[in-house]
Amino acid sequence: MSASPWVRCVALPAPTLRNNTADADRLVAALSQALPASAGAIDLDLDLLRQLPALLRRSDYRLRCTLFGDRGRWILTGISGTDDARPAAGLAVDLGTTRVVLRLIDLATGASLAEHAFDNPQAAVGPDVLTRIHHAESPDGLLHLNALIIDGLNLAIRALCLSAGLQPPDICAVSVAGNTCMTHLFMGLDPRWIIREPYIPVVNRPGVLKAADLGIEAGPFARVRVFPNIGSYFGGDLIAGILYSGLHRGGATAILVDVGTNAEVVLGNRDWLIGCAGAAGPALESGVTRMGMLAGPGVVDRVAIDTATGRFDVHTIEESPPRGICGSGVIDLAAQLFLSGMIDIRGKLVAAACGERLKVVDGLRHLVVVPAEQSASGEDLTISQADLDSLIRSKAAMYTILETLAMTVGVGLGELSRFYVAGTFGCFINPRSAIAIGMLPDLPLERYVPIGNSSLEGAALALTSADAVDEIDCIRDRITYLELNVNQDFMNRFSAAKFLPHTDAARFPSVNAK
């Protein structure tokens, strides 16, 4: 991460009778010299002008200035004497539906000063976007949702600043990436048309706003850059992810998959980008998490089955007694069950292979993953046939979305130079397992690149890279959004993908089931 080009220390020539231009014009002239020749106008807020004469003279005309780029012009968002020991701070925000993550950054060095995460307080209204939008339509519902997230952010900002020895007014620049609904609620914009045909957001390019206008506790001149969205179902979080992955700069075609509350996929290179959101077909994440739980101590995150002995080797987070299973654990488990012959190519439990691990509860087959005597609860930890069927549908939907997107532009999935996987999903799944069940294509493993919270990383880049700001608009304008048309062809491909790893096993040469 490079140092920000937006913190500039300037020494102004002191006024004389021969050089008696105004204070503001003197400052702007010095800053213009310190910026690239192509830089445009530099804007100063009225309240900054009000403080300027005293500040200039107190600091002997030596100033540290923080600038914020906005489409060819610059805004002065922070100013102090060069002897100010406190860093000019920036705040990057990943505004998730479930979880909100903040990072405080020293704008001069690009260094991370502190991170903080909290559950989106709007979850008290409803866990998903749909419930919140309906709530926003009730009297004062939008104000309520807006206040929840703004208050939550301000609490987090105070905590972050405290841990870094700073104060909220030290923050000069904020960068926010979230999905279309979350950014609308953040800005207090009516989201009701997002979920109604023809699915219209209030704004696609929110651009740069004053932190004070949004109610965000930061410096008096601080600005907030809200990442643009492509439409109702393709948000700024994914634009931030593309920015961070570098997909839009690559010579070879690559893909980015972000499985959060929605499954979003972008394919492309420096010449073109095409994206779609996984609203079509069963949502992957619900299939993965329905039977399990979010990662935490005692949650099964890795499973291995000895194909010779049938012995289960179950790993839990913090190696605590097993109490549930998370997404990556389920994918591992399914892959191991398939490779050891305990489920067949349709994902059905094979009685002969499962032996005494197979139990029938309420007429439904279950496989015991952790027997009662080893589990945290003292009860069997099982996976049901219904859970497995759900996983199969989810993995088939994922693969079909990838296949459809690639087909649309005539690219074979095998040609992908990189496969970026974002989010916690990307960090924890074992790509070998995901390939084994045919969820992800059978690429050499080194092409799989987990990129973590790419929404947060992209938001941070927008604060620390001179190029990033221009790239954001460029990415936004270059993406073709593919509306996934769930027609007969799509359903045929989906059906073919419901086998393990696929009806066309030749697509997965590395997968050898027992």
Out of 11, 13, 53, 137, the residue judged to bind a copy of itself by CB under 8 A: 53
Q: How far is the CB of 20 from a copy of itself (least distance, A)?
A: 4
> Least distance to a copy of itself from the beta carbon of 23, Å?
5
CB atoms inside a 10 Å sphere around CB 40: 13
Is the four-CA dihedral 373, 379, 380, 383 of positive or negative sign? negative
Residues 140-199 that bind a copy of itself (CB under 8 A): 187-190, 192-193, 197-199
Q: Which helix (H) or strand (E) holds 480?
A: strand 479-481
DSSP collapsed to 3 states, 291-357: CCCCCCCCEEEEEEECCCCCCEEEEEHHHCCCCEECHHHHHHHHHHHHHCCCECCCCCECHHHHHHH
Instruction: Give the orientation angle of helix 129-136 with respect to helix 141-164, to 10 degrees.
Output: 120
Shortest approach of a copy of itself to residue 476 CB, angstroms? 11
Output the CA torsion sign for 19, 20, 22, 24.
positive
Q: What angle do CA 267, 270, 276 make, to 5 degrees?
A: 25
Question: DSSP secondary structure string, 248-279?
Answer: GG-SS-EEEEEESSSEEEEEE-SS-EEEEETT
Among 5, 110, 231, 450, binds a copy of itself (CB under 8 A): 231
Site string for a copy of itself, 440-469 (x = CB under 8 A): ------------------------------
Q: Among 17-25, 249-257, 301-309, 383-391, which window interacts with a copy of itself (CB under 8 A)?
A: 17-25
Residue 487 phi/psi, 5° resolution? -100, -170
Whole-angstrom distance, CA of residue 295 vs CA of residue 382: 17
In the complex, minimum distance from the CB of residue 457 to a copy of itself, in angstroms, rounded to a whole number? 26
191-220 residues in contact with a copy of itself (CB under 8 A) are: 192-193, 197-207, 209-210, 213-214
CB nearer to a copy of itself: pick between 52 and 259: 52
Q: Considering the complex, what minimum distance in angstroms separates the CB of residue 231 from a copy of itself?
A: 6
Contact criterion met (CB below 8 Å) for 307 and 319? no
Binding segment for a copy of itself among 30-38, 69-77, 489-497, 501-509 (CB under 8 A)?
69-77
Taking the least distance from each CB to a copy of itself, the nearer of 10 and 358 is: 10
Nearer to a copy of itself, 13 or 297 (CB): 13
Task: Output the smallest distance, CB 237 to a copy of itself, in A.
Answer: 17
Residue 465 CA to residue 7 CA, distance in Å, equals 12
β-bridge mates for residue 81, sequence order? 63
The answer to the question of residue 52 lying near a copy of itself (CB under 8 A) is yes
* Of positions 43, 84, 344, 389, contacts a copy of itself by CB under 8 A: 43
Structure tokens at 132: 């919140």
Residue 211 C-beta: closest distance to a copy of itself, Å = 11
Q: Which residues bind a copy of itself (CB under 8 A)?
A: 15-17, 19-25, 41, 43-44, 46-47, 49-50, 52-54, 71-73, 187-190, 192-193, 197-207, 209-210, 213-214, 229, 231-232, 483
